[in-house]
Structure 1
Amino acid sequence: MRVLAFDTSLGGGSVALVDGNVCLARADEDRPRALVERLLPMIEQVLAEAGIRYADLDLIATTIGPGTFAGLRIGVAAARGLGVATGVKVAGITSLEALAQGAAGKVPDGGTVVAAIDGRRGQLYLQSFRLGPVVAALSEPAAVDLERLADHLPPGPGYVVGSGAAVAAAALSGLEVLAGHEIIDAVDVAALAAARPLPSAPPRPLYLRPPDAKLPGGRVLV
């Protein structure tokens, strides 16, 4: 299956074109402010490098959150627009499961992985997973106050990934931080999407709390 996958949820951007287990081409951008202008050129660059047309794709996949409000809007809007323009199905993968997938091969089968994203404002976005042939969720994604982390972390030994890994590990001594897994790789987004049935509806952003930005009069952006 040929999957065009990208992530813009955590500030930077990652684009990959994957065919089966092979990454044909990829591009990365670490400047959040550049993503509005850079995402579509990065996608075109990756397709050109691989010699693949949109008509050759089987699936488009993007992360849907949790993450930054602006980043999610960029990625989901781009994915949905490409889906409408090309007729290719579009899948949504949560940022937390994409981080957990990145630990595959580095954690023993059956091991527990906690994905922890720094949500700012005294919170982490958390979700626990069991790794094996597939990534299986052990909990629902949640925005958790720092003082309540221990109540939301699984008992026993495990691993933790993401920008909030060190904070989560400090709250529960049985967790080991997997260094180098603070950001999302679009290849992992593609792997998760390819392992699932084709989606029946376009993805929507996953917000675990209202956005920080507000309109005049205190109205919240939606």
Structure 2
Amino acid sequence: MRVLAFDTSLGGGSVAVVHGGVCLARADEDQPRALVERLLPMIEDVLSRAGTGYGDLDRIVTTVGPGTFAGLRIGVAVARGLGVATGVATMGVTSLEALAQGALGEAGEGEVIVSVIDGRRGQVYLQTFRVLGGAPRPLMAPSAVDLADLPGVMPSGPGLVVGSGAALVGGPALGGLRLLAGFSTIDAVAVAALAAGRAPGGPPRPLYLRAPDAKLPGGIVPA
């Protein structure tokens, strides 16, 4: 399967073309404000370096959240637009699952991976997985969790904690789990790996775990 995968959910951006589990080309962008203008040129560049046209693709996949509202809207809109324009099947995977997939090499079979994204305002976005058959299997749905409630939500070890919110997990909440530094961003290669063997399930839709901070005049929440 030849997959175009990208992530814009956490501020930066990552794009990759993967075929048969091998990354053919990739690009990364760490300037969130540049993503609106840079994502499509990044995709074109990666496709060119991979020697791949849209007609060669079997799947287009993006992360759908949780994450920044602007980042999610960019990634989902581009994926849906490319799907309509090219006829290639599109799908979405959660940002938390992509973080867990990227950390698989650090976890043993049967261990727990806790993906945690800093949601700000005293919350984290969290999902727990167990490594079974070399893949992260979800133990719970993605959730917005208050920091004060973490001890009652966190699983026991052995296992690890990854993501931009990992440093917020400590004390009794950490238990027998170990913090894994260096896994706070999402790799598009991991996003592509999650698409392998899955049915698309329809165009991707943003996953919002709480209402946006910004509101229009009159208190209206943007769609």
TM-score of the superposed pair, with normalisation by structure 2 = 0.97
Which consecutive segments of 4 or more residues in structure 1 shift more than 6 A? none
- Tell me the distance in 2 between the aligned counterparts of 1:90 and 1:219: 31
The number of residue pairs the alignment matches comes to 221
In the alignment, is residue 178 of structure 1 matched against residue 189 of structure 2?
no
Q: Which runs of 5+ in 2 are unaligned?
A: none
- Asked whether the 8 Å contact 2:157–2:175 carries over to 1, the reply is no
In the alignment, is residue 98 of structure 1 matched against residue 102 of structure 2?
no
RMSD over equivalenced CA pairs, Å: 0.9
- Bigger CA drift: 163-172 or 143-152? 163-172
In the alignment, is residue 192 of structure 1 matched against residue 194 of structure 2?
yes
In the alignment, is residue 134 of structure 1 matched against residue 114 of structure 2?
no
C-alpha displacement at 1:201, in angstroms?
Answer: 1.2
Aligned to 2:218, the other structure's residue is in SS state helix
C-alpha displacement at 1:107, in angstroms?
Answer: 0.7
Structure-2 residue corresponding to 1:57: 57
In the alignment, is residue 159 of structure 1 matched against residue 160 of structure 2?
yes
- Asked whether the 8 Å contact 1:169–1:175 carries over to 2, the reply is no
Structure-2 residue corresponding to 1:107: 107
C-alpha displacement at 1:131, in angstroms?
Answer: 1.3
- Bigger CA drift: 42-51 or 127-136? 127-136
In the alignment, is residue 9 of structure 1 matched against residue 9 of structure 2?
yes
- Tell me the distance in 2 between the aligned counterparts of 1:156 and 1:99: 18
Aligned to 1:131, the other structure's residue is in SS state strand
C-alpha displacement at 1:158, in angstroms?
Answer: 1.8
- Tell me the distance in 1 between the aligned counterparts of 2:40 and 2:221: 28
In the alignment, is residue 82 of structure 1 matched against residue 82 of structure 2?
yes
TM-score of the superposed pair, with normalisation by structure 1 = 0.97
Q: Which runs of 5+ in 1 are unaligned?
A: none
- Paired residues for 1:191-210 under 5 Å: 191-197=193-199, 199-210=200-211
